[in-house]
């Protein structure tokens, strides 16, 4: 499957944070080579230099192998005449290695004193869907993002819900595997996006959209009950002749471009389609949000990406405000500091930045964290008010990723739908099998806020056979993780790892 993500003609730095993701499940007649799937046969230059883009996209190496890559460069000149307020603590000058701390940690005792009362008020277990979404997102972070070299980002809820939609047509064994690998049933997952749509769209400052389509081949008949239920859920149906690869791909690409407002311009390549293709299921998420508290200054500052290397100058945004923030203590003197950035006009979504206490130990620290730690953060960001004054420095960044999810899904125990042509026998008049699940995701963070869009597709072919506030510094000048989190259902909607802001 070939996916294309690009910007339209607009000022990107007035759009905040942008996330885009695509997921593809490919089913074919018999075994097919990677070339038949469109893997390794892309025009990379055309892919990463789309029309209307005001600066080039940089092609990744091993596009389908490594999965997640940094592909964008900063597009705005930064004034050299802007000066930040002095740090409140006396800090040594930056040196490449070891990384000097520009952060003033909040003691564990102080955190407990500030948050204990609020946790008692807000502590409640996640619903089954929220808990399952949190588990799946945390699994994807550790299995997909952390092993990647460079920047990477995914939207776990999109492939999770798209795969869960196969539950009703799956064989008993495949159904057990789907629920086990996805940690939730479709009925548990379905309300998550719907409740968030209502919460975010109450505000004129933010926009969250979700859409799904079935693009069927001319000879494929979808099970009547499946079709009726999908239509009740707002799924759009389109019919194409996959033997005319150019026209079929154009239909899919026009749909995704419209739904993502031109951010994702291509979800299918003609080279990925042939006479055995039967069905493409696609879904998109688009989010645009404005920060509740605006960044006030931006200037180039050093970012320490790797030990024993000189720092890289990046556009560093600054603001001073009250934020929810805390620390997670981990074994071996490791730990994670986190901070929440809320959006204007909604309590539904916010962004959480996670920074390791030990320099350059992001992967080790995240791997030591468990679901209980993530649940603790979800509780703390729901406290009634922010209790810490923070000098926040956060780099402006954009991240694009392309990744196949099949190895991870198989490691989670999902195998029947990839191997058994009877596993999805209730879907259509032909036996179908999943051949590939791929995702592309884009995220952009700037001074104004967040714009995020995500698209996912599944392609099918026939297969024969309270205390007083303290003031701290939170300077993000080394590799970090960010999450766009659903505060209502308490799970990460988007997750990104940034090794070097671009």
Higher pLDDT, 28 or 169: 169
Residue 263: helix, strand or coil by DSSP?
A: coil
Say how many CA atoms lie within 13 Å of 367 toward its Cβ.
Answer: 10
Higher pLDDT, 120 or 7: 120
Residue 389 is inside which H or E element, if any? Answer: strand 388-395
- Check: CB of residue 191 under 8 Å from CB of residue 210: no
Domain ranges of the chain: 17-31+130-290+398-445, 297-395+469-498
- Which one of 3.40.50.1000, 3.30.1370.60, 2.30.39.10, 3.30.465.10 gives the CATH number of domain 297-395+469-498? 2.30.39.10
Q: What is the pLDDT of residues 32-83, one digit of tens each?
A: 433 333 333 233 333 333 333 333 333 333 222 233 333 222 222 333 333 3
Averaged pLDDT for residues 285-304 = 92
Q: What is the pLDDT of residues 189-201, one digit of tens each?
A: 989 988 888 888 7
Q: Does residue 17 carry a pLDDT above 50?
A: yes
Identical fold for domains 17-31+130-290+398-445 and 297-395+469-498, yes or no, is: no
State how far the Cα of 60 lies from the Cα of 158, in Å rounded to an integer: 23
Query: Has domain 17-31+130-290+398-445 been given CATH number 3.40.50.80?
Result: no
Q: What is the pLDDT of residues 447-497, one digit of tens each?
A: 987 666 666 666 665 655 445 567 899 999 999 999 999 999 999 999 999
Closest residue by Cα to residue 169 from 233, 212, 227: 227
Averaged pLDDT for residues 436-446 = 81
The lowest-confidence range among 168-172, 361-365, 448-452 is 448-452
Averaged pLDDT for residues 284-309 = 91
Look at the alpha carbons of 333, 394, 477, 103 in this order and tell me if their dihedral is positive or negative: negative
Closest residue by Cα to residue 186 from 222, 224, 229: 229
CB atoms under 10 Å from CB of 422, counted, come to 15
Given this model, what pLDDT does residue 403 score?
82
The lowest-confidence range among 198-212, 290-304, 396-410, 483-497 is 198-212
> What letter does residue 270 receive in the DSSP assignment?
G
**Bond preceding residue 98 cis, omega within 30 of 0:** yes
Percent of the chain whose predicted confidence (pLDDT) is above 70: 70
Say how many CA atoms lie within 13 Å of 180 toward its Cβ.
Answer: 13
pTM above 0.85, yes or no: no
Q: Does residue 389 carry a pLDDT above 50?
A: yes
Residue 409: helix, strand or coil by DSSP?
A: helix
DSSP assignment string, 432-480: EE---EEEEEEEEE-SSEEEEEEEEEEEEEE----PPPEEEEEE--S-E
Q: In what order do the strands lie in the sheet with 388-395?
A: 297-303, 312-323, 388-395, 470-475
State how far the Cα of 204 lies from the Cα of 191, in Å rounded to an integer: 22
Q: Does residue 242 carry a pLDDT above 50?
A: yes
Given this model, what pLDDT does residue 271 score?
83
Q: Does residue 421 carry a pLDDT above 70?
A: yes
Given this model, what pLDDT does residue 201 score?
79
State how far the Cα of 55 lies from the Cα of 153, in Å rounded to an integer: 21
Residue 216: helix, strand or coil by DSSP?
A: strand
Closest residue by Cα to residue 415 from 75, 180, 237: 180
């Amino acid at each position: 499957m070939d996916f294309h993500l690009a910007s339209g003609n607009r000022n990107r730095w007035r759009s905040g944070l942008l996330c885009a993701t695509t997921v593809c499940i490919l089913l074919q007649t018999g075994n097919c080579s990677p070339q038949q799937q469109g893997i390794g046969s892309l025009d990379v230059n055309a892919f990463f230099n789309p029309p209307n883009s005001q600066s080039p996209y940089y092609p990744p190496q091993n596009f389908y192998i490594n999965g997640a890559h940094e592909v964008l460069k900063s597009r705005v000149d930064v004034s050299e005449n802007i000066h930040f307020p002095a740090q409140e603590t006396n800090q040594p000058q930056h040196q490449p290695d070891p990384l000097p701390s520009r952060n003033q940690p909040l003691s564990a005792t102080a955190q407990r004193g500030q948050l204990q009362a609020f946790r008692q008020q807000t502590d409640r277990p996640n619903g089954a869907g929220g808990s399952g979404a949190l588990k799946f997102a945390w699994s994807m972070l550790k299995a997909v993002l952390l092993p990647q070299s460079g920047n990477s980002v995914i939207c776990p809820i999109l492939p999770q819900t798209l795969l869960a939609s196969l539950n009703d047509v799956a064989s008993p064994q495949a159904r057990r595997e789907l629920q086990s690998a996805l940690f939730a049933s479709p009925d548990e997952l379905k309300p998550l996006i719907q409740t968030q749509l209502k919460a975010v769209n109450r505000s004129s400052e933010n926009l969250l959209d979700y859409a799904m389509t079935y693009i069927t081949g001319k000879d494929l008949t979808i099970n009547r009950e499946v079709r009726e239920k999908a239509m009740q859920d707002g799924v759009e149906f389109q019919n194409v002749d996959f033997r005319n690869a150019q026209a079929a791909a154009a239909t899919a690409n026009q749909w995704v471009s419209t739904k993502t407002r031109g951010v994702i311009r291509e979800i299918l390549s003609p080279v990925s389609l042939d006479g055995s293709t039967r069905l493409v299921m696609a879904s998109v998420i688009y989010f645009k949000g404005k920060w509740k508290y605006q960044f006030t200054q931006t200037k180039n500052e050093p970012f320490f990406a790797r030990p024993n290397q000189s720092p890289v100058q990046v556009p560093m945004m600054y603001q001073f405000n009250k934020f929810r923030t805390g620390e997670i203590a981990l074994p071996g003197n490791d730990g994670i500091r986190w901070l929440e950035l809320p959006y204007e006009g909604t309590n539904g979504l916010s962004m959480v930045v996670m920074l390791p206490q030990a320099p350059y130990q992001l992967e080790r620290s995240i791997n030591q964290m468990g679901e209980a730690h993530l649940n603790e953060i979800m509780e703390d960001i729901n406290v009634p008010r922010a209790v810490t004054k923070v000098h926040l420095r956060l780099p402006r960044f954009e991240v694009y990723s392309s990744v196949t999810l099949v190895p991870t899904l198989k490691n989670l125990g999902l195998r029947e739908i990839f191997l058994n042509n009877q596993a999805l026998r209730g879907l259509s008049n032909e036996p179908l099998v999943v051949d590939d699940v791929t995702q592309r995701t884009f995220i952009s963070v700037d001074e104004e806020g967040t714009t995020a869009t995500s698209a996912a597709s599944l392609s099918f072919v026939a297969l024969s056979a309270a205390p007083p506030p303290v003031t701290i510094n939170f300077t993000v000048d080394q590799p970090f993780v960010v999450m766009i989190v659903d505060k209502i259902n308490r799970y990460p909607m988007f997750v990104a790892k940034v090794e070097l802001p671009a």
